[in-house]
Structure 1
Amino acid sequence: MTKPTIAIVQEAPVFLNLAASVEKAIGHMEEAAKAGASIIVFPETWLPGYPVWLDFAPGAGLWDDPGAKALFRLLAGNSVRLGDNHLSRLQETCDRLGAYLVMGAHERIGNTLYNSMFYFTPGAEAPVPHRKLVPTYTERLVWGRGDGSTLAAIDTPWGTLGGLICWEHWMPLARAAMHAKGEAIHIAQWPMVKEMNHIASRQYAFEGRCAVAAAGAVLTKADVIAGFRSLDVDAPEAEAMLASMPGGADDLIHTGGSAIIAADGSYITEPLYGSAGLVMGEVDMARQLEECQALDTDGHYSRPDVFELKVNTRPMPGVTFDGD
């Protein structure tokens, strides 16, 4: 099994509606598996959608804004929790299809939300989470910061599968830590994959000598409003904030751009912009190993006598209680 097939699901979720988005995800997983996918990938916080109002709604950053607070409440109520039925259904689907899954989701722990990437292995008891280390700019209005305990990677028949979320790809030490895990395949989750995101994803592939699946979503303003209305809730301030985003109903907020990249930085599958669909590509792991002859950043191209990196992988809760 030297040639895994990766499928990126470049679709819109049912925005803000977790249960409906899980149903939609299962349908896309079945479609990808039928097409021959070994590894199925969804974009950043696909469950139940990237909080686009942070980027586009004029009042999103105002203190005590009723619309922003209502949207946070709705998002918190539609975020996954470890061990919940939503994650269990995705795990059951992986087991049935025999495919690996990497899903981006809003995760709730207590009353704080995290931008999380979940790795699902067929036959596993539960998915493995990675929580974004640093929410970027206005994202800090919604998400808390992850710690080193979830700087995760999993084993697959093709080697180590790992990933980072969005601007984590511009954290040099995070990249170094993940390279040290020996990734064969790396998942780069983005809201959409813009030009600079492609530069980061291709550079990561070249630096890490690994295949990279750069995953982004397509999303229109109509998708956003329809997803909100599917919740059937009385939250006029929230709807008003979403409606305040500029553009027409059919204008794309997120334009996709998903692609699959080889270990030399070239495209296995060229970026797909402006339309939904599966972005699929086959990775030749034997050819990939050849690239390590010239560069292995955690091997013959490292200088441990000069550089040293220590990674704290302990959970860092705000309060601990010592028992007797």
Structure 2
Amino acid sequence: MHKNKTFKLAAIQAAPVLFDKAASTEKACALIADAGRLGADIVAFGESWLPGYPFWVDGPVIDLTWEASAAYLENSIAIPGPETDALCAAAKAAGVEVVIGVAEADPFTEGTAYCTALTIGREGEILNRHRKLKPTHAERIIWGDGDGAGLRVLERDYGRISALNCWEHQMMLPGYALAAQGTQIHAAIWPGRETTPRDGEVCWARQHLLSRAFASQACAYVICAAGLRLEEHIPERWRPLGVWEHTGQSAIIDPRGEIIAVAGSEETILIAEGSLDLVRAAKAACDIAGHYSRPDIFDFAVNMRPAGPRVQLHDGEDDYADDASFSDSSIDEDE
């Protein structure tokens, strides 16, 4: 059982410094310190917060598009690297857990980034790296497909924590993988937009809807951490690419799926208190991976092997090169 029955959850809603990973990292560290002073146990930033969401992928393809993409790749980060070292130090100094969306540079090609949810412990160590499984629509111009290695729930002294990016909450199975591991506190990280659909519109922002659905189904608290990017946050050089504003509306949601705190479109640290007693009460009513499941009918397995390089290079002496990056971990309901 966990030591603490209550905890404080925080959504950090703030604009990064676009195309500047050093300045964005510095700002993130300051915000982590602020959240620590507010007594937060776990804080979450929006999707690809460091160094910012690639907003231009939804616009017209012009020469500046590729310049922006090149600048974005240049400002993507290595894990581990100098930026993660700074974030880890900030988390340790503040005594908080941190989930932050980052653009992670592919270490092999340096021509692809991954939309990664990075989780850092209050001890100042990287706990998990989850790469977005399937970038949405035009995001595929710059983000590569992730793997299942990061579909993990982490045991902490105040509860079990997890994280997913944006429309991974629409996919259903990633969420079930986390529910099956008993997640209790979940970071749902989003670019940041909550709109009302127009008549006939098939695709619209669903950050509250999907975050609330996850909370209700997994019987977990959800930090719906939304990014913020208004016109004034976009450097003049990049404005010809179009201005698609991300207006925030972060929220914190309880295990019943009810919103208990919500932000507007300003920079803020949204705080709410949670209780494991409410998590357990919700799971007692409907534990979708426990008493409210049918493993005799449905089989479910997750490939959690990390993806390695796309090409295996052999020196002619061995049939296959050893690759220590692969593991045989999996989730299987039959086990």
TM-score past 0.5 threshold:
yes
| Alignment partner, residue 126 of structure 2 | 126
Query: Following the alignment from structure 1 to structure 2, what is the Cα–Cα distance between the partners of residues 267 and 158?
Result: 21
| Partner of residue 31 from structure 1, selected from 13, 17, 34 | 34
Tell me how far 1:125 sits from its aligned partner.
3.8
| Partner of residue 278 from structure 1, selected from 258, 269, 280 | 269
Tell me how far 1:47 sits from its aligned partner.
0.3
1:119-166 Cα deviation digits (max 9, x unpaired): 001225434210000000000001000011122332211221101100
Equivalent residue of 2:242, what SS? coil
Change (3 A) 1:169 1:40: same
Equivalent residue of 2:266, what SS? coil
**1:11-30 aligned within 5 A:** 11-30=14-33
1:197-233 Cα deviation digits (max 9, x unpaired): 211110110000000000112211221116xxxxxxx
Query: Following the alignment from structure 1 to structure 2, what is the Cα–Cα distance between the partners of residues 284 and 193?
Result: 28
Write the letter of the residue equivalent to 1:266. Answer: E
Equivalent residue of 1:31, what SS? helix
Equivalent residue of 2:169, what SS? helix
1:52-77 Cα deviation digits (max 9, x unpaired): 1123x3x2xx3xx4212111111111
- Does the 8 Å CA contact 2:89/2:124 hold for their aligned counterparts? no
Query: Following the alignment from structure 1 to structure 2, what is the Cα–Cα distance between the partners of residues 176 and 244?
Result: 38
RCO higher in 1 or 2 (8 Å CA, sep ≥ 6)?
1
Equivalent residue of 2:126, what SS? coil
- Does the 8 Å CA contact 1:14/1:49 hold for their aligned counterparts? yes
- Root mean square deviation, CA, Å: 1.6
1:260 equivalenced with 2:252 (yes/no) = yes
Tell me how far 1:242 sits from its aligned partner.
2.9
- Does the 8 Å CA contact 1:268/1:282 hold for their aligned counterparts? no
**1:1-324 aligned within 5 A:** 1-55=4-58, 57=59, 59=60, 62=61, 65-109=62-106, 110=108, 111=110, 112-194=112-194, 196-225=206-235, 239=237, 242-246=239-243, 253-269=245-261, 271-317=262-308, 318-321=310-313, 322-323=320-321
Query: Following the alignment from structure 1 to structure 2, what is the Cα–Cα distance between the partners of residues 275 and 120?
Result: 25
- Does the 8 Å CA contact 1:48/1:105 hold for their aligned counterparts? yes
Equivalent residue of 2:300, what SS? coil
Change (3 A) 1:127 1:20: farther
Write the letter of the residue equivalent to 1:201. Answer: S
More helix by share: 1
1:221-274 Cα deviation digits (max 9, x unpaired): 221116xxxxxxxxxxxx3x533415xxxxx811111010000011221x2122
Equivalent residue of 2:245, what SS? strand
Equivalent residue of 2:11, what SS? strand
- Does the 8 Å CA contact 1:206/1:265 hold for their aligned counterparts? yes
Query: Following the alignment from structure 1 to structure 2, what is the Cα–Cα distance between the partners of residues 193 and 71?
Result: 22
Query: Following the alignment from structure 2 to structure 1, what is the Cα–Cα distance between the partners of residues 241 and 63?
Result: 14
| Alignment partner, residue 202 of structure 2 | none
Tell me how far 1:320 sits from its aligned partner.
3.2
Query: Following the alignment from structure 2 to structure 1, what is the Cα–Cα distance between the partners of residues 293 and 193?
Result: 30
- Segments of 4+ moved more than 4 angstroms: none
Write the letter of the residue equivalent to 1:177. Answer: A
Question: Normalised by the size of structure 2, how large is the TM-score?
Answer: 0.85
Write the letter of the residue equivalent to 2:41. Answer: S
1:165-223 Cα deviation digits (max 9, x unpaired): 00100112111111111101011011014252211110110000000000112211221
- Residue ranges of structure 2 left out of the alignment (5+ in a row): 196-205, 314-319, 323-335
Percent of pairs identical after alignment?
Answer: 32
Change (3 A) 1:136 1:159: same
- Does the 8 Å CA contact 1:53/1:242 hold for their aligned counterparts? no
